[in-house]
Amino acid sequence: QLGERIRGLLAAVTDHPLVADVRGVGAMLGVELCHDGDPQRPAAEAARGVIAKCREDDVLFIGAGLLGNVIRILPPLNVSDAEVDRAIGVLVKHLRAAR
């Protein structure tokens, strides 16, 4: 249920040109960033920038993937709906602003 909730909130950015994929199992998800959604053009610098902006808003995400272009989402299972909404809202805000 937690993973479905997060995926639903991330639906707001799946059409963004940098978002190549949202993948994972359950609540362990990753948002892969690539230029123009092309997996051959990973956007590691954009991922680092989004993660840094989220940190400025007191929300922590970490980078992942061999190329560093994946934003990892792995909340504790006892996270509240309000905390999920806030955290993913911050992520969505900074993904929308990313170039």
Q: Whole-model pTM?
A: 0.94
Report the Cα 35 to chain-centroid distance in Å: 15
Query: pLDDT class for 99, splitting at 50, 70, 90?
Result: confident
Mean pLDDT of 10-18: 94
Alpha carbon distance 28, 83 (integer Å): 16
Digit-coded pLDDT (tens) for 33-69: 999 989 999 999 999 999 999 999 999 999 999 999 9
Give CA 11 to chain center in angstroms. 11
